[in-house]
Structure 1
Amino acid sequence: MLALVKAENSAGLWLQQVARPIPAADEVLIQIRKTGICGTDLHIWNWDDWARKTVPVPLVTGHEYAGEIVEVGKLVSHLRPGMRVSGEGHIIDINSAAARAGRFHLDPNTRGIGVNRPGAFAEYLALPAFNVIPLPDEIDDELGAILDPLGNAVHVALSFDLVGEDVLITGAGPIGIMAAAVARHVGARNVVLTDVNPVRLALASRVADVVTVNPREMPLADVMSRLHIVNGFSVGFEMSGYNEALEQLIGAMEPGGRVACLGLPSGRISLDWSRIVCKGLFLKGIYGREMFETWRKMLNLIATGLDVRGIITHRLPVDRYKEGFQAMLAGDAGKVVLSWPA
Structure 2
Amino acid sequence: MSAKAFIEIKNGDKVAIGGWNSNNYKGIKKLFDINGKDIDIVGGWKEAIDEKDLIDYKLVNESAADFFQKVPDGEQPQIVVFLTGSTNIIKDMENITKNEKNKIKVIFIISGYTNRVPLQEIKRVTILCRKLEIKIHTIDLKDVGYEIGYLLEDSRNMPWTIDTLDMDLLAYLQKNNLSSGSFLDLGTGSGTQAVKLFELGFDVTATDLVYAAFEETAKRNTNVHFLQDDILNTGLNKKFDYIFDRGCLHALGKPHYERYAEKVKSLLKEEGLLFLKYATNDNFHLTEDVLSYYYSENELNNFISRHFTIVEMKQSIFEEVEMKSIFSVLMKKATH
Using structure 2 for the length normalisation, give the TM-score.
0.35
* Structure exhibiting the larger radius of gyration computed from Cα positions: 2
From the two aligned structures, give the one with the greater helix fraction: 2
What's the TM-score, normalizing by structure 1?
A: 0.35
